[in-house]
Amino acid sequence: MAPEKTAVLLLRETPGQEGSDPHRMAELRGLADAAGYRVLAEVVQRRTRDHRFQIGRGKIQEALLYGPDKLIFYNPLSPLQVNNIRTEFGAAVIDRFNLILEIFASRASTREAKLQVELAQLAYDAPHVRNAVSFSKLSERSGFRGSGAYEESMYRDIKGRMAKIRAALKEVEVMGEDRRKRRRELGFDLVTLAGYTNAGKSSLLNALTAAEVEARDQPFTTLSPTTRAIKLKERRILLTDTVGFIDDLPHFLIKAFRSTLSEISQADLVILVADMSDPPELLRQKLVASHKALWDCGVSSPIVAVLNKVDRLCPEEISVRLELIRDLVSSPVLVSARSGQGLEELVERLVQRLPALREYQIRLPYSSQGFSELSRLYEEADLLQVSYEDDLVVKVRGREETVARTSAKDGESECDQSF
Ligand SMILES: Nc1nc2c(ncn2[C@@H]2O[C@H](COP(=O)(O)OP(=O)(O)OP(=O)(O)O)[C@@H](O)[C@H]2O)c(=O)[nH]1
Ligand SMILES: [Mg+2]
């Protein structure tokens, strides 16, 4: 087993904010735990930002008394602050973004996920290295140290590698687009589970599809999308589980995960999952963060809001929460992935909100090609009627993409009615 890593967590709260926000520290603890740290202590200070160390010098000294391997800050650290804390106190220090990246790096199992994590890491490092270049140049001007040439070439290397990864990820994204197109042609509706990390997305996927995707009580268990097929009331659905959202994500992290997040933006329907057993204020904060993230992903498809883990709540707790989040979610479905409660209603709602299927009447040639297309339509749509005339006259209900793939003669496929 790897030797245990230890950490002290530090949080600077802004003065003037009402009360302290215990959720921030709790979330940081969850992240540290998921990254494999044993937390020795938590240090909180309310003050304005210290430009040298982010938090007060005394607080850093206090944290170091516990003898941790690392200091982990909730607040983002500038390159200068990292440098100052390292040199002044000889302490290893990271911030919440590094911590998230550490978790991602340890969980990334597919090539795509690994590239995304590397890109995010480089995007994080680039400004730090650029700053090192300017430090060196400054020292050079004042007659100290080297020329900054090493840092400059390192910065160029980082930029070069980032361009390469972006190109590789672009390819992955195009492959994803092709895959979604093919799946739609095969008659599937694409539904994606999205939501704050640890809300129960993977558990819902498992409950709806009898899959066995890993679900654990810690953030970022899922990093790569997993897709499972289900049939819900005659609709053939591919349900995809995705990486969770978290508050205050730096933009570069979202950008790095673009190819994964396009499973959300390009879905026919998005299920937004929230953990209803969170304290009411936290539930609200996480829903706001999730809406922001959906917006960043560029979602334009319908969204069905699902409040999960209702098995943990009594009726009064449920009504307090529903009241508090009324403006954020319209007619949410209350479910428990664990007990199965509410899943039938969820299925009803999903089927209602999926893009309407249409009925088409098409003519296929009376030939082996026509018959092979007919048998494909059996698989990928609902055949309502077939008459064997000079041509095969077929009445079918399905997705436009599926019907468009047949060799039906031009102008003879027609939309009758939508459902
Ligand atoms: N009591 C209760 N626990 C649940 C329910 N659904 C999920 N959980 C638990 O919540 C934790 C997180 O569930 P996951 O399914 O891993 O959540 P996720 O949204 O996929 O999380 P990430 O992939 O880490 O973003 C696990 O410990 C689950 O067992 C539920 O309906 N009731
Ligand atoms: Mg998951």
Q: Is residue 281 part of a domain?
A: yes
**Per-residue pLDDT tens for 21-40?**
788 999 999 999 999 999 99
Asked whether residue 342 falls in the same domain as residue 374, the answer is: no
pLDDT of residue 167: 95
Structure tokens at 353: 């909100």
- Which residue among 83, 104, 125 closes a domain? 104
For 47-77, how does the pLDDT look when each residue is reduced to its tens digit (9 = 90+)? Answer: 999 999 999 999 999 999 999 999 999 999 9
Same domain, yes or no: 82 and 124: no
Residue whose CA is at the smallest distance from ligand 1 atom 8: 200
193 is a domain residue: yes
Which is nearest to 204 in space by CA: 98, 334, 101?
334
Is there a single domain that holds both residue 153 and residue 200? no
Q: Per residue in 150-204, pLDDT tens?
A: 778 888 999 999 999 999 999 999 999 999 999 998 889 999 999 999 999 999 9
- The verdict on 255 and 399 lying in the same domain is no
State whether 345 and 405 are in the same domain. Answer: no
Tell me the ligand closest to 204's alpha carbon. Answer: 1
- Among the three residues 353, 374, 400, which one is the final residue of a domain in this structure? 353
Whether 181 maps to a domain, the answer reads no
CA 214 to ligand 1: nearest atom: 16
**Ligand 1 centre from 337 Cα, in Å?**
8
**31, 216, 224: residue to mutate for ligand 1 pocket, most atoms within 8 A of CB:** 216
Position 358 scores a pLDDT of: 87
Pocket of ligand 1 (CB under 6 A): 197-203, 215-217, 219-222, 244, 308-309, 311-312, 336-338
Q: Does 109 or 410 have the greater pLDDT score?
A: 109
pLDDT of residue 410: 46
**Quick one: pLDDT band at residue 214, thresholds 50, 70, 90?**
confident
Domain assignment present for 178: no
Q: Which of 299, 332, 353 is the last residue of a domain?
A: 353
Per the domain annotation, does 10 fall within a domain?
Answer: yes
For 179, list phi and psi in degrees, rounded to 5. -65, -45
Say whether both 126 and 100 belong to one domain: no
The predicted model gives 311-327 an average pLDDT of 96
- Minimum-distance ligand 1 atom for the alpha carbon of 244: 25
Q: Looking at the structure, do residues 100 and 119 belong to the same domain, yes or no?
A: no
Give the pTM.
Answer: 0.85
Q: Are residues 317 and 401 in the same domain?
A: no
Same domain? For 277 and 322 the reply is yes
The closest residue, in CA terms, to atom 16 on ligand 1 is 215
Do 267 and 279 share a domain, yes or no? Answer: yes
10 and 73 in a single domain? The answer is yes
| Ligand 1 atom having least distance to the Cα of 312 | 1
Q: Which residues have C-beta under 5 Å from ligand 2, the single-atom ion?
A: 201-202, 221-222
User: What is the extent of the structural domain holding 277?
Assistant: 187-353
